[in-house]
């Protein structure tokens, strides 16, 4: 009924505009009508997809979501991305999943913007901020919380306790379970110090592990197991060398570079001289 009325209204506009000689306006109305019809079709396919997905009829859901996505429906694009990632109703394909997720984010669908922000965060924090802000403009609580963390830690933005506090409070207002200590500037300062301590600790642990792996590589090389360069980096060659050593010595063959393995390698019973 709605489509019938829409067509009747547009037809009347066509007649009036043609009589008045407004050809350019006619083209504009035609475009608007086409967009409206596509929107209605996309919405109908989305609803069909939602119903099928709830029934776990993933093949039917995929077909409907794909139709909705191709009409430009952001929710359909988001669900298509999830189904490609999970292999629901279609063969798993991470490349296609990412493609549809990005299209959904480009159409300003908040959950898609949030996930694109999380995916961008490790290497491209500035891009991540832009995705989170796009979602936050539509009151997406999780994105607001991420913006709070990024301002608190100065990741992708200039560090600002005031901005961090503002975003944490906005996230809380949207129902996101923000840690109580992040709802005051003093608490944010404590959070920053704690994060800084953890980072330093992880850096220290990484240095110690690299030293241990390098020692293991040096020992394996002396025993003729070819672990590759003694660079402290655990790779496939080092793993294979460890496995060969473990197999020969009757140990559990897991290929792991551990302190226990280094002790075994330092044991004089293994030395060839």
Residues 105-127, mean pLDDT to the nearest whole number: 96
Is pTM, for the whole model, over 0.85?
Answer: no
* pLDDT score for 258: 94
Indicate the domain borders of the chain. Answer: 2-157, 192-270
Domain 2-157 part of CATH 3.30.300.30: no
* pLDDT score for 269: 54
Helix axes 74-86, 58-70, angle to 10 degrees: 140
Domain 192-270 fold is Muramoyl-pentapeptide Carboxypeptidase; domain 1 (1.10.101)
* pLDDT score for 76: 96
What digits encode the pLDDT tens for the residues 215-233?
999 999 999 999 999 999 9
What digits encode the pLDDT tens for the residues 235-256?
999 999 999 999 988 899 999 9
* pLDDT score for 41: 84
* pLDDT score for 202: 87
The H-assigned helical ranges of the chain are 2-19, 23-54, 58-70, 74-86, 94-106, 110-120, 125-136, 141-153, 161-173, 185-222, 236-248, 259-266
Could you give the maximum distance between any two Cα atoms of the chain, in Å? 104
Six token digits for residue 187: 């608490």
What digits encode the pLDDT tens for the residues 158-213?
999 999 999 999 999 999 999 999 999 999 999 888 888 888 888 899 999 999 99
């Amino acid at each position: 009924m709605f489509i019938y009325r829409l067509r009747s209204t547009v037809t009347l506009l066509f007649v009036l505009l043609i009589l008045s000689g407004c050809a350019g306006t006619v083209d504009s109305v035609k475009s608007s009508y086409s967009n409206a019809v596509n929107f209605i079709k996309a919405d109908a396919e989305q609803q069909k997809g939602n119903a099928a997905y709830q029934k776990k009829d993933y093949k039917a859901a995929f077909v409907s979501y794909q139709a909705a996505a191709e009409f430009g429906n952001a929710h359909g694009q988001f669900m298509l991305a999830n189904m490609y990632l999970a292999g629901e109703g279609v063969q798993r394909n991470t490349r296609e999943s990412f493609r549809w997720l990005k299209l959904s984010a480009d159409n300003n669908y908040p959950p898609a913007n949030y996930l694109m922000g999380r995916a961008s965060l490790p290497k491209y924090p500035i891009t991540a901020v832009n995705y989170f802000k796009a979602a936050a403009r539509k009151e997406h609580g999780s994105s607001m919380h991420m913006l709070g963390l990024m301002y608190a830690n100065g990741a992708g933005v200039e560090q600002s306790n005031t901005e961090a506090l503002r975003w944490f409070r906005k996230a809380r207002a949207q129902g996101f379970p923000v840690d109580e200590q992040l709802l005051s500037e003093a608490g944010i300062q404590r959070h920053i110090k704690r994060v800084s301590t953890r980072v330093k600790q992880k850096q220290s642990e990484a240095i110690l592990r690299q030293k241990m792996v390098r020692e293991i590589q040096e020992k394996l090389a002396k025993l003729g197991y070819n672990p590759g360069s003694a660079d402290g980096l655990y790779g496939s060659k080092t793993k294979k060398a460890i496995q060969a050593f473990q197999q020969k010595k009757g140990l559990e063959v897991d290929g792991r570079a551990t302190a226990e393995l280094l002790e075994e390698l330092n044991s004089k019973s293994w030395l060839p001289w």
